[in-house]
Amino acid sequence: MIVKQIWTGNAYRNFNYLIACPETGEALAIDPLDHEKCLKAAKEAGWTITQIVNTHEHRDHTGGNEQMVRKTGAKILAHQDAGDRIAGMWRGLGAGDVVDVGKTVELEVLDTPGHTMSHVCLRSHTDQPALFCGDTLFNAGAGNCHNGGHPVELYKTFSEQLARLPDSTRIYPGHDYIENNLRFTLNREPDNQRAGEMLASVTGQDPDRPYVSTLAVEREINTFFRLTSPTVIAKLREAFPDLPENPDPRAVFLKLRELRNRW
């Protein structure tokens, strides 16, 4: 499996992805908003884009579909419930489905509600696994829930699916928000040394060559995986005095999501 991460350079800081089969040169485009950059990258690599996966229905993820289909004839795949919001959807995806790319790449579909209620992530079962997580999980952050999502569902997706993936899983999110998210981590957990070091190292990074984290790293720097950290809980209790001393992780997650919205 070859992964090409494409920085769009737009105001929303979107990342698009190409996933290619090294044997056949067939490629799948994830959320190819910047269809021109995606097509150029595919051409340079000698790949043919045959499929598009939209992680979810938001326009900054689907806005390149039409042009991409016109130029390549690629088929559009997305969550099975997104058909009324994604024009021209060819295949509806559900949990456990497999998306093949060429002869050698198999991607497993995870049904990951929360940012929207029809959001999928793709997971590779390569030697070093990878997760293409759209707007569900960001580097050091979590998706918002205010355009068709639900925070309780997002918590369930984190705790029941993402948190159980192997540590070595490489994380490929839909946006470059790492700097801002690390600042939120440090605001919530000022003694998080790893987050402090990482903020220094990614500040001003070239987004064409972005840092790629793993789930093990996210467990250290992403507040939304640090629901039992004593500092996170103590700081939250300053903001929410009603929160018990040993709160339920779900309550911690929901309060963090609420604070992040206002932050």
**Of 135 and 189, which has the nearer Cβ to Zn ion?**
135
Specify whether 35 is catalytic.
no
**Of 111 and 135, which has the nearer Cβ to Zn ion?**
135
CA distance 131 to 236: 30
Specify whether 150 is catalytic.
no
Specify whether 119 is catalytic.
no
Structure letter (DSSP) for residue 20: E
Interface with Zn ion in residues 161-220 (CB under 5 A): none
**Of 12 and 240, which has the nearer Cβ to Zn ion?**
12
Interface with Zn ion in residues 130-149 (CB under 5 A): 135
Alpha carbon 37 to its chain centroid, in Å, reads 20
Among 31, 34, 58, 176, the one annotated catalytic: 58
Q: Which residues contact 200 (CB under 8 A, 6 or more apart)?
A: none
Among 61, 79, 119, 176, the one annotated catalytic: 61
Contact stretch for Zn ion (CB under 5 A) within 32-40, 127-135, 205-213, 247-255: 127-135
Structure letter (DSSP) for residue 163: G
Structure letter (DSSP) for residue 68: H
Specify whether 125 is catalytic.
no
**Of 112 and 192, which has the nearer Cβ to Zn ion?**
112
**Of 137 and 227, which has the nearer Cβ to Zn ion?**
137
Cα Rg of the chain, angstroms: 18
- Min. distance of Cβ 71 from Zn ion in angstroms? 24
Helices assigned H by DSSP within 24-150: 35-45, 59-62, 65-72
Residue 247: CB atoms within 10 Å: 19
Asked if 183 contacts 216 with a C-beta cutoff of 8 angstroms, the reply is no
Q: Exposed/middle/buried for 167, CB within 10 Å: 0-12, 13-18, 19+?
A: exposed
Interface with Zn ion in residues 30-59 (CB under 5 A): 58
- Min. distance of Cβ 135 from Zn ion in angstroms? 4
- Min. distance of Cβ 124 from Zn ion in angstroms? 22
Specify whether 84 is catalytic.
no
Output the CA torsion sign for 188, 194, 195, 199. Answer: positive
- Min. distance of Cβ 175 from Zn ion in angstroms? 8
Left, alpha or beta for 143 (phi > 0: left; psi -120 to 50: alpha)? beta
- Min. distance of Cβ 5 from Zn ion in angstroms? 18
Catalytic residues: 56, 58, 60-61, 115, 135, 175
- The residue ranges that bind Zn ion (CB under 5 A) are 58, 135
